[in-house]
Amino acid sequence: MTASTQTLPAWLRMLYPFTLKTFATSGGAKMSYVDERGTGQSPGDDSAVLLVHGNPTWSFYYRHAITALVASGRRCIAPDHIGMGLSEKPQDYKYTLAQRITDLESLVLSLGLKQIDLVVHDWGGAIGFGLAVRHPQLIRRIVILNSAAYPMDQIPKSIALCKTSFPGSLIVRTFNGFARAATKLAMNRRTLTNDEKNGYLFPYDSFDNRVGIDAFIKDIPDAGHPSFTTLRRVADGLDQFRRRKVLMIWGANDFCFDANFFEEWRKYIPEAKVHLIADAGHYVADDAYEQVSPMIVNFFKA
């Protein structure tokens, strides 16, 4: 499913009214991405805010942040990973962490961006920091939302179940159980409206269109997993960002990326400015958007 703004249903365009573009990855798939110029931004400005989503979301997750950032004058780039969102969903793509980093890297380089303020969430942390480790000179400031970019031994039992071929793939792809559950479990402060819930689920309306969700889960690496080496390399490169301006905004009521993940970030980037939101869940940028969006805008303005 690839789409333009015009082909989206009216109810979704109301929530997600952004300019969509398409990029062909080195893997041969079409990547959809938001590219919104900031209000009053100079045409020659080669800086942008890059917002990297995780699983099972898509750039729709950042809709509030994008709106606020564009109003503040910033250009926003928000890609949908291959197999996710409005990007193409090939059944035989190389859905690995290394490929996802390469896809993001190729997009950024094709756009000629010279300065990036980075926002990451969920497994967008590993992908976004994967880009940052490869191109540290591009990165200015970083906002870390509930995420990880390093190996962790723990994994919630429900997600461990979804990693299995059976019944995991049955739950994820046949019944859309992972994405549907997330619309409830990842929110705590507020309840999504019906349109918001349907917005998260819109790209994942069939067995084939859930291939990316399933592949994302299967790619969560333990020590013997093929993506473990890639994740370890990303983690080993985090030290160079200790002196950058980093803001952690963390929903403390997260069923998945819990306090252990938060404390691990504190080890890697102890100088980061921290804002804990006690009643926010995993989808912190949506669950507490009225609080989070202005924090991101102000942090990038400072």
pLDDT digit string (tens) for 79-116?
999 999 999 999 999 999 999 999 999 999 999 999 99
Give pTM, 2 decimals. Answer: 0.96
Q: Which CATH number fits domain 5-11+18-301: 3.40.50.1820, 3.40.50.720, 3.90.1150.10, 1.10.260.40?
A: 3.40.50.1820
First to last CA, the chain: 39
What is the maximal distance between C-alpha atoms in the chain?
Answer: 52
Instruction: Give me 95's structure tokens.
Output: 């859905």
Residue type at 260?
Answer: N
pLDDT digit string (tens) for 51-67?
999 999 999 999 999 99
Question: What pLDDT band is residue 155 in, cutting at 50, 70 and 90?
Answer: confident
* Closest among 140, 96, 112 to 234, alpha carbons compared: 96
Q: What are the boundaries of each domain within the chain?
A: 5-11+18-301
pLDDT digit string (tens) for 197-216?
999 999 999 999 999 999 99
- The CA-atom distances, in angstroms, between 54 and each of 62, 74, 216, 244 are 11, 22, 9, 23
